[in-house]
Structures are given as C-alpha cells and as structure tokens.
Structure 1
Amino acid sequence: MIDSPGVLLTVVAFMLVIGPLVFVHELGHYLAGRWFGIKADAFSIGFGREIWGHTDKRGTRWKLGWMPLGGYVKFAGDMNPAGQPSADWLALPPEERARTFQAKPLWQRAIVVAAGPVTNFLIAILILAGFALAYGESRTPATVGTVVEGSAAARIGLTTGDRIVSLGGRSMDTFDDMVRYVKIRAGEQIAVDFRRGDDEMSRVATIGTVVERDRFGNEYRVGLLGIGPSEPVRATVGLMRAPVVAVDRTGDIVQMMVETLGQVISGRRSVKELGGPLSIARVSGEQMAMGADAFVFLIALVSINLGFINLLPVPVLDGGHLMFYAIEAVRRRPVEPEVQEWAFRGGLAAILALMLLVTFNDLGAFGLWKNLAGLIG
C-alpha cells in the first residue's frame, strides 16, 4: 500500500477534474446558443457569491462562484424553471426579444440544452481515442485459457480451449467483454453458452464474489467467473480506427452505468455503493498519485458520468428539459406551466435527497461514522 495522496493533492486533483469538465459542459450550451444567436447574460463556474467576474463586449458576465460544484449559463429570456414567457419578456423590444432563448424554435432550444452533455461525451471520446492510438486495442478472444480451481467456471466444467459464446444471453466477442459483464454481477446466476470443439453447450453458473483491495486500501466487491485468457492479443490502432474504438469504449462504460443503476434501483446492489463529490475528490487524488495516464482516464470517466447523469429525464437536469421538449413536440403545445413548475420542484427535491445520501455515504467511507461511534462508546 502507498501513502495517502494527502489533502492538498486531493483538492488540487478534484479541481483539475471537475473545473474543466463543468466548463466544457457549460461551454457546449453557450456555443450552441451563440450559434443560434441567443444572448447569454451570464456564464458561471461554481455557485454562490461571485469571487471573480468579467463582462465581455457582448454583455455576458463570466464569473467564478465560491462553491465549485457545478456551473450554469443563463440565457436571455430563460427566466423561470418552466421556461414560460413572462411579462418582462413580452415587454422587450422585438429585436431584443428575438435574441432570447424562448424566442427560438423548439428544435434549436433542444440542441442548446443537449449540447452540454454531448460535449462531455465528445471530450471523453477524444481522450479514449488518444489512449487507443497510444496503447492499441485489446482483441484477446473470449476463449478459456486457464480455470481457477473451485471457481464458478470450474463448478460448471469449463476447460481450456472452450470458446465462450454468450453470458446471460449477451454475445461475447473478446475476453474484455466477459470481464466487464462479470465484474458487476457478483453473486448472480447467469447462463453460460460456450462451444467445445463442434459441440454447443450451455450451463448455469453463479458468479463468484471477491473483495479486491487497491494500493490505497479501498475495497471493492467484484464478480469473478474464474477463468484466465488465452494468449493475449493487442492490435495497433490507426488514426481512422481510434474514434471507433473510443465510441465503442464509451458505449461500454455507459452500458455499465445503466446496468449498475438498474441494480441499485432493483435492490441487487446497495445504495451504500453510491458516491458523491467527496468520493470523486478522493479518487481524483489517488489517480493523480498513480500517474498521468490514470488521472487522464479518470477525467474521461467522470466526463462520461456527467454527460450520462445530465441526460437522465429528471426535471432540473438537461434530460428533464429535453423530456418536456419531446412532450411539447408530440402535443404541439408546451406542458402547462403549473405542471412543469411542480415537476421541477419534485426533481430538485430528488436531487437534493440524492446529494444528501451520497454525502452520507462518502462520510461513512472516510470513517466518520465509525469514529463518532467510537467516541460515543
């Protein structure tokens, strides 16, 4: 185990992860708005009291808030959570009103809202494409090379040379596909379809559970089938292939996020595994201590997380706005302001409750509750 990265390095690493990613997210909104001729009143990184600010020649106030856990772009005309025109908006001169958010067609507003999460995905794809160029692409076949004695694979009779066709009904092209599938399914029963010579065979296996400990003492519960790869194969990736590899890898990560979120919702995975800003800060410091590659990969992973979370159909998030725009497109008229207002209040309450939960989990991961229990005891 190596020493903890320390508070200073952790804070610096967290700022270097969250700050730029929030900036590019909001920049996506801002640039899309500029493209459609929408005036931006404010561009803020962080919330709360302004600690620095500058107003440019277009009248946009660029500023930093004292709480660096997010940001926003305030477009002219975007005056209330429901996005409905107000009396002040209606009183604007026609040429000024034409530059407001609400004056734009539905499809343009939808693009402006979607541009933030899309930018996060593009940043991640760019980073992962760089990794593909630098390190190539794993093409190790989904073939059993070794079998761990007493493992789930051994119990169902897998042997060296068996070719795994599918796990749980999902086709497996490479060994990495199997690792990603099994890793998040500790203790679950799955169908294992494989080919032995010319014979097609199928078994039901209960994925094993192993607790891994990293160099910083963090423990992770992961699934283990108990097989090793055959001869590793790593292919060189060219400039044209790199974006394809990056998009595929991004899709794999998003799929894992969707599946783990479904496991939490269904109760198959504990809500205690959810982490928040404090967990991101801790991991940021640890990854920076491990080197540039690990830290840059974390930036890509967090960027995908930001894009994915913001596209969830929860009012107050970008996905919530897009949901209402989709409903408006189908109905040919906006959802009633009262409905939107209550939906946004409910969405805000849900987000705040989630933040409270993950902060509680984070403090527990740092040992606060155990320490308090020890003091009380």
Structure 2
Amino acid sequence: MIDTPGVPLTLLAFVGVIGPLVFIHEMGHYLAGRWFGVKAEAFSIGFGNEVAGWTDARGTRWKLGWLPLGGYVRFAGDMTPASQPTAEWLALPAEERARTFQAKPVWQRAIIVAAGPFVNFLAAILILAGFAHFYGARTAPPVVGDVVQRSPAAVAGLKAGDRLIALEGRAMESFADIAQFAMLRPAETVSVTYERGGTRGSTTLAIGVVTEKDRFGNAYRIGRIGIASPPAEYQPVSLLEAPLVGARQVGDIVRGTLDTLGQIITGRRSVDELGGPIRIAKVSGEQMSLGWPAFIGLIALVSINLGFINLLPVPMLDGGHLLFYAIEAVRRRPVSIAVQEWAFRGGMAAILALMILVTFNDLGAFGLWRGIAGLIG
C-alpha cells in the first residue's frame, strides 16, 4: 500500500521548505546591501500583488506576494533588468544617488549578489553540522567487504578486501564515495583502480541498474556494483569539527549535482528527472510525514540546490549578474546596456522554457498524462 501525506500536509510542508529558504536567500542580499550602505526599497517573499506588508523606519517595504515561488530585494538604483543606471538615476540628488546599488563599486555589487547563494550554502552547512554533532558521523573505508555473486563487481574481478583507490580517475576516500559514485551512473562502464595485497591493479566495471521504489511509490533508477560495505563505525563529532563535516557534505552534494547535470546535458540521463515546484511540494509532504529529521534534511538539500542554481551563469539569476560583473572588472567598464538587455531577455526565455519542462515532468510524476491517455484510450 502506498502512503500519501495528503494535500493539506503537502502544502504546509512546501511552504515550510520554500518560505524560509527564500527568506534567508533574500536576507543575504539585504544584509550585504545594508553593510555597504545601499537602501532597500522593497523586500518581498512571493511575486505578484501584495497580500500583506508594512514599511519600516528606513523606508523598506516588507511584503508578501500572492505567488509563493520566490522573492526579491529591490535596491534603490536597481532600475533595469540588467541592473544598469538610467536617466532617472542620474537625475537623483548626489546624496540619494550615493545610497543606490549602481553607485557602489563592482566588487561591492558582486558581494551583495553573491550573498544570497552564500547564505543558502551556509544554512545547509549548519543543518548538516548539527546532524553530525548530534548523531555522529558514519565512517567506513573504501574497501570491499563482500562481493555479490554474478554482480558487476564479480564480473570485473573484484574480491573481498580490495581497496578501491579510484573510479574513473576520481579518488575514493570512503565507502560512501563508492556508493554515491555508482548510484549516479547506472549502466555506465568505468575504470577501476584498486589495491590488493599491497599491489595496485586496474580493471573496467559495467555498473548495474536497479529500479527501487519508496513507500510513496516513487521509482528511482540507480546504479549498483554489487559490493557490501566493511564494518562501519559511528564516531562522535565535536562542535568545532561539525562545520567542517557539514561543509564537506555540502561539497559532496554539489559535486553530485554537477555530475547529474553533466549527464543530462550529454544525454546519459533523461530530462524527465528534472523537477520543479510541484515535485518539491510532493517530496516535502512525503519527508514531513517521515518525521522532522527527514524534513530538515530535505530543507538542507533544497537550500544547496537553490544556492547552486542561482550561481549558474544564466542572465536573470545571481550567477548571470556575477558574470557581467566579472566582465566589467576585467574590461574596466560595464557591458553595454543593449547587450545586457538582450542577454537578460534570453535568460528569461530560457528560464520560462525550463519551468514549462519541469512542470510537464512534475505533472507526469503525478500520473496526469497516464490518466489522460487512459481516458482517451
């Protein structure tokens, strides 16, 4: 029987994931802007018409929009999609213009823009550091504990006790590295460097494919090589060590995200696996129904992905702004407004196309297209 968390819990969980993460992302921009003396005209959680809000003593309008799928901070002087000054900006009094975004040097603008994704990564590090401190860290060396008969590892000639040094040239520092590497590469053939009895050897291994379903009926196509872990230990993690453990885990997740993105771009992984807000809502409800540790772990994962996506060099995203600032720093002058306007229009078109694709995928994950095909048939 498939467990379903229900629509009310799903909506509550979705707001509980997206709302705080968007808030801290935008708060990163806001605080960095205040640090450099930039006036914030508006701080919005959600897009569209204002549902509720207030104006603080600094003149910032804090508000909630009716569409809770993001947010923004609008700084004084940030008057065009390309964040370029206009005649309106030039007409401002000198004292007021000095407090605008565009009056700041490029390095300060870059820090303000980068602060949003940075805070998302920092939040994930703190969450994972908390898990490491309170639950300890599971450690196991990259050693083959046992080999499943007729498995890909057995066919490749691996034996119990072999220490895997590298897979496809990537160093393996723990058994978890092996499991993650294989999981993300179903049906791929990779090179293996191992150590047996003090002697190094190499072989090739065709990673197997396994389709697993969770209690909610979600199917996952993952890679397996057919080896068991050696005995693992849970080691306590001190408060000083915990942030380092959290940062290392965030780095591993980002590397896995890059691997997955590369596989989608090269066609080794289907674009059907891309998901959007609807799928995030579905997973949020499922994880909340499993308990607070699972739900908080999901928040950390979504925070990492939010930070990562925003750093992609796509106009309209933070990474697109940072790309133009880098060019400005090298050229000693900004890219022309016309070029930036066209780039940002292209970025907007790309983002809209991606949103349509992931929404199509999300509805398919809910079985909508199968249901329509059944009705037509």
TM range (shorter): over 0.9
Residues 1:245 and 2:267 are matched in the alignment: no
Query: Following TM superposition, by how much is the alpha carbon of 1:83 offset from its aligned partner in structure 2, in angstroms?
Result: 1.8
Q: Does 1:159 pair with 2:133?
A: no
> Which stretch shifts more, 253-262 or 139-148?
139-148
Q: Which stretch shifts more, 221-230 or 136-145?
A: 136-145
* Pairing 1:117-156 to 2, within 5 Å after superposition: 117-156=117-156
Equivalent residue, structure 2, for 1:286: 286
Secondary structure of 1:193's aligned partner: strand
- Matching residue of 1:236: 236
Q: Unpaired segments of 5 or more residues in structure 1?
A: none
Match of 1:198 in 2: 198
Contact 1:136 1:236 in 2 (8 A): yes
Match runs of 1:16-95 below 5 Å: 16-95=16-95
Cα separation, 1, equivalents of 2:116 and 2:333 = 25
Q: Partners of 1:214 and 1:256 in 2: how far apart? A: 21
**Counterparts of 1:210 and 1:361, CA distance in 2:** 21
Which digits, 9 at most, give the CA deviation of each residue in 1:255-284, with x for residues without a partner? 000110010001010001100000100000
Q: Give secondary structure in 1 for the equivalent of 2:142.
A: coil
State the secondary structure of the residue aligned to 1:144.
coil
Are 2:112 and 1:112 aligned?
A: yes
Matches of 2:150 and 2:213, distance apart in 1: 21
Deviations 1:297-348 (A, max 9, x none): 0000000000000000000000000000000000000001100000000000
Select between 82-91 and 31-40 the one with higher mean Cα deviation.
82-91
Letter in 2 for 1:35: W
- Cα displacement string for residues 93-118 of structure 1 (whole angstroms, at most 9, x for unaligned residues): 11111111011111111000000000
2:78 and 2:39 map into 1 onto residues whose CA distance is 10
Q: Which residue of 2 aligns with 1:325?
A: 325
Q: Distance in 2 between matches of 1:106 and 1:121?
A: 23
Instruction: Specify the code of the residue in structure 2 equivalent to 1:359.
Output: T
Superposition deviation, residue 233 in structure 1: 2.0
Distance in 1 of aligned mates of 2:199 and 2:41: 67
2:359 corresponds to which residue?
Answer: 359
Equivalence for 2:375: 375
Letter aligned with residue 328 of structure 1: E
Question: How far apart in 2 are the matches of 1:262 and 1:196?
Answer: 32
Give the 4+ runs in structure 1 shifted more than 2 A: none
- Using the TM superposition, give the Cα deviation of residue 149 of structure 1 relative to its aligned residue in structure 2, in angstroms: 1.5
Q: Which residue pairs with 1:336 in the alignment?
A: 336
TM-score of the pair, normalised by structure 2: 0.99
CA distance in 2, matches of 1:220, 1:323: 35
Residues 270-285 of structure 1 mapped to structure 2, 5 A cutoff = 270-285=270-285
Q: For the residues of structure 2 that align with 1:286 and 1:4, how far apart are their CA atoms? A: 7
2:218 equivalent to 1:218: yes
> How far did residue 3 of structure 1 move?
2.1
% identity of equivalent residues: 67
2:145 alignment partner, SS class: strand
| Residue in 2 that maps onto 1:254 | 254
Letter in 2 for 1:255: R
SS in 2 for 1:357: helix
Post-superposition CA distance 1:17-57 (Å, at most 9, x none): 00000000000000000111111100000000110010111
CA shift, 1:200, in A, is 1.2
- The more displaced of 228-237 and 12-21 is 228-237
Tell whether the 8 Å contact from 1:77 to 1:101 is kept in structure 2 after alignment: yes
Quote how far apart the aligned CAs of 1:195 are.
Answer: 1.0
Q: Distance in 1 between matches of 2:91 and 2:58?
A: 21
Structure 1: which amino acid aligns with 2:62? W
Alpha-carbon distance, 1:82 to partner: 1.8
Contact 1:212/1:220 (<8 A) preserved? yes
Shift of 1:88: 1.1
Instruction: Give the 3-state SS of the residue equivalent to 2:179 in structure 1.
Output: helix
| CA RMSD, 1 decimal | 0.8
Return the letter of the residue paired with 1:209: V
More displaced stretch, 135-144 vs 207-216: 135-144
**1:299 and 2:292 matched:** no
SS in 2 for 1:306: helix
The residue type equivalent to 2:110 in the other structure is A
Distance of 2:252 and 2:123 partners within structure 1: 16
What per-residue deviation string (whole Å, max 9, x for no partner) do you get for residues 111-138 of structure 1? 0000000000000000000011011112
Distance 1:85 1:209 in 2: 54
Q: Which residue of 1 aligns with 2:168?
A: 168
Paired AA for residue 203 in structure 1: T
Distance 1:142 1:101 in 2: 50
Q: Supply the AA of the counterpart residue of 1:124.
A: A
Structure 2: distance between partners of 1:248 and 1:68: 31
Instruction: For structure 2, list consecutive stretches of 5 or more residues without a partner in the other structure.
Output: none
CA contact (8 A) 1:138 1:176 kept: no
In the aligned structure 1, how far is the partner of 2:31 from the partner of 2:322? 18
Aligned partners of 2:85, 2:275: CA distance in 1, in Å? 38
| 1:141-161 residue CA offsets vs partner (Å, 9 max, x unmatched) | 111111111210011121111
**For the residues of structure 1 that align with 2:121 and 2:285, how far apart are their CA atoms?**
23
For 2:84 and 2:19, locate their aligned partners in 1 and report how far apart those are by CA, in whole Å.
31
Question: Partner residue of 1:188?
Answer: 188
Counterpart-to-counterpart distance in 2, 1:241 and 1:182: 28
Instruction: Give the structure 1 partner of residue 265 of structure 2.
Output: 265
Contact 1:162-1:195 at 8 Å conserved across structures: yes
C-alpha separation in 2, matches of 1:248 and 1:8: 35
Displacement, 1:2? 4.9
Is the contact made by 1:29 and 1:114 (CA closer than 8 Å) also made in structure 2?
Answer: yes
> Is the contact between residue 14 and residue 285 of structure 1 (CA under 8 Å) also seen in structure 2?
yes
